[in-house]
Amino acid sequence: MISRILFISPLFDGSTSLMRLNALKSIFTSSCKIEAIDTQKIIDVHPRISQFLAYKYKTGPISFSISNAIKKKIKNQNYDLVWVEKGVLIQPNVIRLLRGCTRKLIHFTPDPAFYFHKSSKFIKSIKYYDLLVTTKSFEMDSYLRYIDERKLILVSQAYSEKIHSIKKVFKERTPNLVFIGHHESNRSLSLQKLIDNNIEVNLSGRGWDDFVNHNLGNELFCFIGEKLYGQDYVNTLNNYCFSVGFLSEWIPEKHTTRTFEIPACGCLLFTPRNDEIEDFFTDEEVVFYDNNIDLINKIRYYQSHLEEAEIKVNLCIQKLKSGDFTHRAIVQNIIDNIH
């Protein structure tokens, strides 16, 4: 029986970590005490140079501050479960201390752990965890260099049924495309192709300064803003009929949170075709595209066939409701795998 849990993670508004913490709270009754260490609050009080060292090199004063906060919290304490998310800044000796104060120690990350977020601290700590959970199928072999396969779980990304929801029916939305996400060169190229082919693009995200300046004054382009989190993110998706779920070129990922959040908010999802997403959805539920020309043609088609687009959206929503794609379902699956 689990009666006391410690959750260690960045917990800012709109973060999937906060969604998983809330999922844990919904799974366990009030008889289970769930405590949290919000590492984001620790990060935020440090100067920019310290944040740079933490994000870029996984070292510096923030690592010590987070580790010290954990040591202070767990002194003379015992837990049934300690759940660590994105533990790339926690010193290995502190993970060892966590191992000693809990019956089960879990690590979860929705991020790549062996690419951009690679951390020697995390790698040295892997052996202390009872269970490691990843959403990145391409990193399975990397994990298995350090742990037995029985300690590794692959799960999909997810959406929150309480946050990602339909607030505006399809017929009341603008029949145009929106993309919310950070800049990458392939995304920039695709969106520019759309604009150059008379398809309106509405955009939000970080790193788009050059793209915005290039398209300044173009009536087919609207920059919504750099940051959209929480309800602002959901409300923006609810304003449009279509959204594209670009995958990253920085890592060989095959799906993202957007893969589920976009249709959960009632948008028709345009997505690159791959075997992983085809395991989640069919051609009847989303629009797969193979290249930029294919994307352009299919957006044009569904802008002229909104009833067909709405049918796809409704079928996709049914799939989401019948599947295991919520944060609660994912967390429940992990809890069920604790032995």
What's residue 29's pLDDT? 80
What's residue 243's pLDDT? 98
Instruction: Note whether 4-156+325-336 and 170-322 share their fold.
Output: yes
What's residue 116's pLDDT? 77
Q: Using a pLDDT cut of 70, give the percent of the chain over it.
A: 100
Average pLDDT (44-63) is 96
DSSP for 105-145?
EEEEESS-TTTTT--HHHHHHGGG-SEEEES-GGGHHHHHT
Token reading at 105: 């120690």
What's residue 185's pLDDT? 96
Using alpha carbons only, how large is the chain's radius of gyration in Å? 21
Exposure pattern of 181-200 as b/e (b: 16+ CB <10 Å)? bebbeebbebbbbbbeeebb
What's residue 90's pLDDT? 98
First-last CA distance in the chain = 11
Q: Is 292 left (phi over 0), alpha (psi -120 to 50) or beta?
A: alpha
What's residue 13's pLDDT? 87
Nearest to 85 by CA among 25, 19, 15, 7: 7
Average pLDDT (61-66) is 98
Determine the Cα–Cα distance for residues 331 and 318; give it in Å rounded to an integer.
21
Taking only the tens place, the pLDDT of each residue in 273-330 is 999 999 999 999 999 999 999 999 999 999 999 999 999 999 999 999 998 999 999 9
Taking only the tens place, the pLDDT of each residue in 199-238 is 999 999 999 999 999 999 999 999 999 989 889 999 999 9
The DSSP output letter for 267 is P
Average pLDDT (173-195) is 97
**Which CATH entry fits the domain spanning 4-156+325-336: 3.40.50.2000, 3.30.230.10, 3.40.50.360, 3.40.50.720?**
3.40.50.2000
CATH class of 170-322: alpha beta
What's residue 14's pLDDT? 87
For the chain, domain boundaries: 4-156+325-336, 170-322
